[in-house]
Amino acid sequence: MNKRSLLQSALTLALAAGFAPGALAQDKPLKIGVTAGPHAQIFEQVKKVAEKDGLKIQVIEFSDYVQPNAALSAGDLDANAYQHKPYLDAQVKDRGYKIVSVGYTVNFPMGLYSKKVKSLSELKQGARFGLPNDPTNGGRALLLLQDNGLIKLKDGAGLKATPLDVVSNPKKLKFVELDAAQLPRSLDDLDASAVNTNFALSAGLNPKKDAIALESAKSPYVNLIAVREADKNQPWVAKLLKAYQSEEIRKFIEVEFKGSVLPGF
């Protein structure tokens, strides 16, 4: 049998077995990593929109910020949607991930919360203040405190500011650094905490009503969809982004979250 006949026979067998070009991609859902809460809720809707375009999605929830990138890098996920670019940039630099952003999703304005005071001006001297312990969200929280006049950071501290960069702290706030997911629970023990909106909502907090200060919607912290660099030009990436950035998803975000989560596209 010549090479041409062998090729034709192999193709016939592949077709018979259901492995026609593209069939495998359609039959095997894309695994998308998200954090529990709004990201998961939104992606359940994206899943419905994407299916109309022939794209099957399996949503996989995580309870922290570290594992979704590790899983994506290891090939256990096809994409993830839970982080902003400063966090992704830090992860790529620190861990050497070959992961890139392919498009924007939503913005979660960070809030400052307390069960002990109703305004930042009521915080007493030496108040214990919770911060996310990852560099980008910790810096974000410190910038929010600076914007509200509680501290001053040294010039050039930027998005990765740490408590060591605080040059003025009139109330002598004592910073307690915790995993971001733990910060809503810290409100029982601390005087106040900075909480990412996805974790605030999961804990039953309403940023519009419960936050004593809220970040501006115009910030560098718009969330994104990330994929492995080798996959960024795959056809499914464009389909996934199209589904997420559709008018259906925009309306869902606006109605479901009532301004607590903002479309970033």
Q: Where are the beta strands (DSSP E) in the chain?
A: 30-35, 57-62, 79-84, 99-104, 106-107, 111-113, 128-132, 152-153, 166-168, 174-178, 192-195, 213-214, 223-228, 262-263
What phi and psi, each to the nearest 5 degrees, are found at residue 31? -95, 115
Sign (positive/negative) of CA torsion 33, 140, 144, 151?
positive
Confidence of residue 135 (pLDDT cuts 50, 70, 90): confident
Q: What angle in degrees, to the nearest 10, is found between the helix axes of 247-257 and 38-51?
A: 150
pLDDT score of 10 more than 50: no
User: What percentage of residues in the chain have a pLDDT greater than 90?
Assistant: 80
Mean pLDDT for the chain overall: 89
Q: What is the pLDDT of residue 6?
A: 40
Place of tokens 């498009």: 103
| Mean pLDDT for the stretch of residues 20-36 | 71
**Is residue 196 a contact partner of residue 211, using CB atoms and an 8 Å limit?**
no
Sign (positive/negative) of CA torsion 148, 153, 159, 164?
negative
Q: What is the pLDDT of residue 160?
A: 86
3-state secondary structure (DSSP) of residue 104: strand
27-108+221-263: in CATH 3.40.190.10: yes
Domains 27-108+221-263 and 111-214 share a fold: yes
Confidence of residue 129 (pLDDT cuts 50, 70, 90): very high
Q: What is the pLDDT of residue 259?
A: 84
CA gap 228, 248 in Å, rounded:
27
Q: What is the pLDDT of residue 146?
A: 96
Domain 111-214: CATH class, spelled out: alpha beta
Q: How does pLDDT run across 167-187, given as a tens digit for each residue?
A: 999 999 999 999 999 999 999
Q: What is the pLDDT of residue 190?
A: 98
**Is residue 125 a contact partner of residue 173, using CB atoms and an 8 Å limit?**
no
In the numeric block, which tokens belong to residue 258?
Answer: 């009532």
| Mean pLDDT for the stretch of residues 39-45 | 97
Q: What is the pLDDT of residue 17?
A: 38
What phi and psi, each to the nearest 5 degrees, are found at residue 257? -105, -5
Q: How does pLDDT run across 88-125, given as a tens digit for each residue?
A: 999 999 999 999 999 999 998 899 999 999 999 999 99
Q: In what order do the strands lie in the sheet with 57-62?
A: 57-62, 30-35, 79-84, 223-228, 99-104
Confidence of residue 11 (pLDDT cuts 50, 70, 90): very low
In the numeric block, which tokens belong to residue 89?
Answer: 């940039």
Count CB neighbours of 85 within 10 A: 17
In the numeric block, which tokens belong to residue 209?
Answer: 């009503």
User: What percentage of residues in the chain have a pLDDT greater than 70?
Assistant: 90
Task: Write down the domain spans for the chain.
Answer: 27-108+221-263, 111-214
**Predicted model pTM:** 0.72
